[in-house]
Amino acid sequence: MDYKKLAELLFPTIDKTPEDYEAIYPQRDLDEEAKITRFAPSPTGFLHIGGLFAALISERIAHQSGGKFILRIEDTDKKREVDDGVSKIIEGLKSFGIKIDEGFVDFDTEEGAYGPYKQSQRAEIYQCYAKSLVEQGLAYPCFCSEETLAKIREEQEAEKILPGYHGKHAYCRDLSYEQIEANINEGKSYVLRLKSPGSEDKRINFKDGIRGKIELPENIVDVVILKSDGIPTYHFAHVVDDHLMRTTNVIRGDEWISSVPIHIQMFAMLGLKPPKYAHIAPIMKEDDGGKRKISKRKDPEAAVTWYSDEGYPVDGVIEYLLNLANYTFEDFRRANKTAPWTDFKLEMNKMSNSGALFDLVKLNDICKNKIASYTADKVYTLAADWAKQYDEELYTLLTRDEEYSTAMFGFDRNPDKPRKDIGKWSEVRGAFSFMFDELFDGKYDDIANVSKEDICAILDTYADTYEEAPDNNEWFNSLKDVAEKHGFAREVKEYKQNPDAYKGHVGDVSNVIRVAVTGRTKSPDLYSIMKTLGKERVLNRISAYKGAIA
């Protein structure tokens, strides 16, 4: 068979050769350790948390080695593509601060010298490499219809042999040039298949960056490389793109492990060096005592938009994912309280093989710590940004008086032992409702150990004598005066030494004021709250509480 003639028959318009593309996309001039990684999603729906996880890991591996991170869009499956699929991916990555160097760095901006970065715009490149395989007798057109393929499947099932186009079922493998030409002249559609040199009794070995050594059977199937419309399959596009984009490390979901033999075979047949592979286990969720993958259909937290909607701080979510990737992140954070997460060195070989377990409590915890580490100004800015999009009323209240809101976010924000009451911006409304009359619901916690008469008497005295104190000490002293006046010990210690002599102690009295002012028995520093609310509002709150318990 004259394979060159066959290649011309199949690809008359392709005049470039792989050597031309080698020159267009040369080796990168980078340090030896620098890794080139990519995230290569298909725009088939929202960005999944597992996608963000994979993108983050690829981004870290690239940037911590001085390399580059590419965003490539794999849109060869037009049937599964959704309208705004691409922008959803870019928006998702952008909103979590994943830094992209090449490919789609923004909605309509492609950057980098190795593009185009959308597979649908690279048809000629794939066809050129496919043509070169045909020229060497390593790929061939297959005219088998759907019915024939279904029949092959049935026969293979009955014979209990590996399904797929191989062996005696690979009918089109040995078609003559004349038969092929006649089929084409008849207008028969065809796909292009790889003429797999694999043999059933051979195995391949490769070292996975996460799982270590893996051994799998060699590929023996003549897989499709170009579909009937000339568009490549995922397998072929991956090999061509990751070669020409000079990707050094392919980090992807572990559903692709079983395809590695096909990929390694394709690289070899094209005379190319394969990249290093690392396969990430999916994020798992506990369900009914068992474990299952986080599901797009069942779990709202599968979509990255959920984290933004809930108002989780971006770096809290990222740190949570880093923590899922490497349990050592926690030690790093403990030892480096204020360092940016980019200082952490992610290690792929410390990642789980079986899938890290999603843990909402842990996420909340990390986010609480994260928010506790922010300045009040930062909390104000981020909370207001979130509220602007998700809670208009809160946004209006927060921004009505920036100084007031910032003072509020500053309550108990002391660096040694900061208060940790919010883990996401949607919790601001509930945590601080007492700071806004519009949100204060007039519900009060019960006070167990002070009688109603004493509560009223304390409130009366307090209201009559209340002056804004210049500092916490003086404020507390005046509270002690009120305590003493009503038969409560000035000091907790005094009370403990002689409990029968008192109705209670100053803590009980401050609790009465706390409930009157905030509705709650637990609140941030009461002095700061009262000072920020101002005398008038404090007095109004006291009288409203009296009314409520009367």
With b for 16 or more beta-carbon neighbours within 10 A and e for fewer, the 299-333 pattern comes to bebbbbeebbebbbbebbbbbbbbbbbbeebeebb
Nearest alpha-carbon partner for 117 in 36, 40, 61, 59: 40
Dihedral sign for Cα 17, 18, 19, 25, please: positive
Closest to ligand GLU by CB, 248 vs 426, is 248
Residue choice 238, 279, 293, 541 for contact with ligand GLU (CB under 6 A): 238
Q: What crossing angle do the helices spanning 234-244 and 123-135 adopt, rounded to 10°?
A: 100
Stretch that binds ligand GLU, among 250-258, 289-297, 467-475, 506-514 (CB under 6 A): 250-258
**Helix, strand or coil, per DSSP, at residue 311:** coil
Is the Cβ of residue 180 or residue 346 nearer to ligand GLU in the bound state?
346
Residue 42 CB, shortest distance to ligand GLU, in Å, is: 4
Q: Could you say which of 35, 68, 252, 490 contacts ligand GLU (CB under 6 A)?
A: 252
Provide the minimum distance between the beta carbon of 54 and ligand GLU in the complex, in angstroms, as a whole number.
7
By CB under 6 A, residue 261 contacts ligand GLU: no
235 binds ligand GLU (CB under 6 A): no
Q: How far is the CB of 72 from ligand GLU (least distance, A)?
A: 8
- CB 111 → ligand GLU: shortest distance, Å? 20
CB of 433 to ligand GLU, least distance (A): 43
- Rounded to an integer, what distance in angstroms lies between the CA atom of residue 518 and that of residue 443? 9
H/E element holding 426? none
Query: Alpha carbon of 127 to those of 221, 237, 305: distances in Å?
Result: 20, 10, 37
Q: Least Å distance between CB 447 and ligand GLU?
A: 58
Minimum CB distance to ligand GLU smaller for 93 or for 533 = 93
* CA–CA dist 61, 76 (Å, integer): 27
Nearest approach in angstroms of CB 262 to ligand GLU is 12
Q: Are 40 and 252 in contact (CB under 8 A)?
A: yes
C-beta of 33: minimal distance to ligand GLU in Å? 22
CB 129 within 8 A of CB 106: no
Q: How many CB atoms lie within 10 A of CB 109?
A: 10
Q: Give the largest CA-CA distance in the chain.
A: 113
Question: Given the rule CB under 6 A, which of 15-23, 251-259, 292-300, 343-351 is the region that contacts ligand GLU?
Answer: 251-259
Does residue number 293 form part of the binding site for ligand GLU (CB under 6 A)?
A: no
**Judged by CB under 6 A, does residue 275 bind ligand GLU?**
no
C-alpha atoms less than 13 angstroms from C-alpha of 114 in its C-beta half-sphere: 24
Count interface residues toward ligand GLU (CB under 6 A).
9
Task: Please return the burial class of 227, using the count of CB atoms within 10 Å of its CB with bins 0-12, 13-18 and 19+.
Answer: middle
Partners of 192 in beta bridges = 141, 226
Closest approach of ligand GLU to the CB of residue 23, in Å = 25
Residues between 309 and 348 with contacts to ligand GLU, criterion CB under 6 A: none
Nearer to ligand GLU, 68 or 252 (CB): 252
Residue 280 sits in the site that holds ligand GLU (CB under 6 A): no
Q: Is residue 324 within 8 Å of 283, Cβ to Cβ?
A: yes
Q: Which of 38/514 has CB closer to ligand GLU?
A: 38
CA distances from 378 to 260, 385, 407 (A): 46, 11, 12
* Closest CA relative to residue 76, chosen from 235, 231, 228: 231
Of 7-15, 249-257, 360-368, 494-502: span binding ligand GLU (CB under 6 A): 249-257
Q: Which residue type, as a one-letter code, is found at position 269?
A: M
CA dihedral for 315, 316, 317, 319, sign (positive or negative): positive
Q: How far is the CB of 256 from ligand GLU (least distance, A)?
A: 6
The CB-nearest residue to ligand GLU is 252
Residue 508 and residue 484: Cα distance in Å, rounded? 12
70: helix, coil or strand? Answer: strand
- Tokens 């006291």 correspond to 542
User: Which residue's CB is nearer to ligand GLU, number 41 or number 103?
Assistant: 41
Smaller CB separation from ligand GLU, 7 or 40: 40
State in angstroms the smallest separation of the CB of 253 from ligand GLU: 6
Restricted to residues 17-56, the positions that interact with ligand GLU (CB under 6 A) are: 40-42
Cα distance from N-terminal residue to C-terminal residue, the chain? 102
Does residue 74 bind ligand GLU (CB under 6 A)?
Answer: yes
Q: Residue 287 is which amino acid?
A: D
64 vs 259, beta carbon nearer ligand GLU = 259
By beta-carbon proximity to ligand GLU, the closer residue of 21 and 256 is: 256
Q: How far is the CB of 251 from ligand GLU (least distance, A)?
A: 8
Nearest-Å Rg of the Cα atoms of the chain is 33
Q: Per CB under 6 A, which region of 10-18, 245-253, 265-273, 460-468 contacts ligand GLU? A: 245-253
Q: What is the Cα–Cα distance from 124 to 57, expressed in whole angstroms?
A: 31
CB of 146 to ligand GLU, least distance (A): 24
Q: List interacting residues with ligand GLU (CB under 6 A).
A: 40-42, 74, 238, 250, 252-253, 256
